[in-house]
Amino acid sequence: MGLNLTLKIVIGVVPAILVIGIICFVYFVYKRRARNELPQRRSSGRKEEYEVETEDLYSFPGGENCTIHDILDAPGEVVGKSSYGTLYKATMERLNSNVLLRFLRPTCTGRLKEINPVIQMLGFIRHPNLVPLQAFYAGPRGEKLFVHPFLSHGNLAQFIRDGNGESHKWAIIYKISLGIVKGLDHLHSGLQLPIIHGNLKSKNILLDEIHQPYISDFGLHLLLNSSAGQEVLDVSAAQGYKAPEVMKMKEVSKESDIYSLGVILLEIITGKESIDGNAPPSPDLYLPNSMRNAILEHRISDMFNPNILINRSNDQNPITEEHLLMFFQLAMACCSPSPALRPDIKQVLGKLEEIGN
């Protein structure tokens, strides 16, 4: 009798224990899975929450042989920094090639599914005067890496500031100017959907060993969130490239790109910086404004670098002062305060080709 009672008690308790055990098991499995799905993050002195994304690699023409390991394992050095990302010169040892890696901070961009159409569009844009996107890596914590070819001869701003004899030769000045205009023409009118650059400046014009110019950073603002995009515009304004009518990054247009192009053309022809850092705060510290004053005061010598005329005897096609003034007038037209008065990119290209003939 006692034995039967004990068996009944055991038989009755066992199912309850099993049920409790199953519930505990499910609970701990769920907690472990939830914990594993939270990405590891480095301490930065503040709390940041990143949603997990899939790790993926997109390859485009020129980057077909690139792998995730090639990108992540490439030793590199920092060549540029901004509030939204970092530029690295990196060496892909397996492919024996140098590349430019652009890292965008997760907090400055949209999620991959939001920006994927823009990435696909940028990846297939090819033109002799545009820096191509060869590959794009999306990491599980929202990090994003762009792979571009590395151009070893720096940017246009450095070329102009160095003041070497090459920057005073008309043939080189014209080649660089024409290449920039052709690249911007392709963005504005050579694609199914036009692309506004949004951050055109001499630092974003890269040069190769034969002074061929390549426009970089085009379409970058389309990948950034509103706050990061506004920071880009603020920097552009501080450096003297922002069109006067643009208040927010979402307002950039073909006309505002033309204004920035005009500032670059003025830099090239005058040898001056886009903004005079030594001048007292005033509208005159911006290059287009100071050049308008030069026109009013008939200071012709300020409208172009005099060394261009001095060196013209070495050029196969010597430039005249008249052609230099035509170039200057074109640059100033691009910098018109009124967007409606600026030439479009086709008109700029046609006028530049006329000057070169």
Q: What's residue 35's pLDDT?
A: 36
> Cβ(332)–Cβ(258) under 8 Å?
no
For residue 1 the two structure tokens come to 């009798």
SS3 breakdown of the chain: % helix, strand, coil, rounded to 5? 50, 15, 35
Q: What is the pLDDT of residue 317?
A: 63
Q: What pLDDT score does 309 carry?
A: 82
Other CB atoms within 10 Å distance of the CB of residue 43: 7
Task: For residue range 93-107, list pLDDT tens digits in order.
Answer: 888 899 999 999 988
CA distance 99 to 106: 21
3-state secondary structure of 111: coil
The rounded distance, in Å, linking the Cα atoms of 154 and 162 is: 11
The residue written with tokens 């030769």 in the block is: 169
Distance CA 207, CA 156 (A): 7
Q: Are 158 and 171 in contact (CB under 8 A)?
A: no
- pTM for this predicted structure: 0.83
Contact 289, 336 (CB under 8 A): no
Give the model's pLDDT for residue 62: 93
Check residue 316 and give its pLDDT.
62
Which stretches of the chain are assigned E, i.e. beta strand? 56-59, 76-81, 85-92, 97-104, 135-138, 144-149, 205-207, 213-215
Distances (CA, A) of 43 to 49, 92, 305: 12, 29, 51
Would you mind telling me the total number of residues written for the chain in this entry? Answer: 357
d(CA 195, CA 179): 17
Domains of the chain: 56-149 (3.30.200.20), 156-356 (1.10.510.10)
The H-or-E segment that residue 327 falls in is helix 321-334
Q: What residues of the chain score a pLDDT lower than 70? A: 1-53, 163, 277-282, 311-318
Distances in Å between the alpha carbon of 281 and those of 277, 284, 340, 354? 9, 8, 28, 38
Helices (H) and strands (E) in the chain, counts: 11, 8
